[in-house]
Structure 1
């Protein structure tokens, strides 16, 4: 890559930003699913404890597993989302810096001459 023409590097950064945006969106979806799993498992456990649904060891273990799995998944994906957001910010800053290095010409406001 030439030092004077950073357009190739800007293109690579744009591709990386698209990948990071996809990772970020996937994390948001998993975070939402994790919250649903936590809420569902807790609600099922509460219903069982109140005796409204009948008592079953399998259902109790399943609801506890849903809550714990949701918590683990939530924590992991929140961390990944933060790291991805930091990487997006860094890439955008680098892209802005590279764009700032490009020698852009300002187009004047003079009227065009028609022949």
Structure 2
């Protein structure tokens, strides 16, 4: 077996980083939606407790479900985001190590000829 080409591994790592970045962005959107659900549920519960707008027991039960669902969704997505950020960091560190293993040379500044 031959050793894999480092440029191929770097390309694979960049694809993985891009995919993980999409997952992280999706988690951020769900976190925002979860915070909105928690706030909306808390506001609806307060309105129900104060008896404003003639809301009933169904609204109170729905608001509690909205708050609890928001809390569960928030916790799940925060932990997924942390894991994704750690995976991105590890992939970026591996990519950096691969790039630094190349024997790079500095190209001198020379005027370019216009054709």
Please indicate, yes or no, whether the TM-score normalized by the shorter chain is above 0.5: yes
Matched, 1:15 2:15: yes
Aligned in 2, Cα 1:37/1:108: closer, same or farther, shift over 3 Å? same
Matched, 1:72 2:72: yes
* C-alpha distance in structure 1 between counterparts of 2:96 and 2:42, whole Å: 46
**Cα drift, residue 2 of structure 1:** 3.3
* Structure 2 partner of 1:100: 100
Secondary structure at 1:93's aligned position in 2?
Answer: helix
Matched, 1:36 2:36: yes
Gaps of 5+ in 1: none
**Cα drift, residue 55 of structure 1:** 3.8
* C-alpha distance in structure 1 between counterparts of 2:14 and 2:75, whole Å: 28
**Cα drift, residue 112 of structure 1:** 6.5
Aligned in 2, Cα 1:96/1:57: closer, same or farther, shift over 3 Å? same
* C-alpha distance in structure 1 between counterparts of 2:81 and 2:23, whole Å: 8
**Cα drift, residue 33 of structure 1:** 0.2
**Which consecutive segments of 4 or more residues in structure 1 shift more than 3 A?**
109-113
* Structure 1 partner of 2:26: 26
Gaps of 5+ in 2: none
Root-mean-square deviation (Å): 1.8
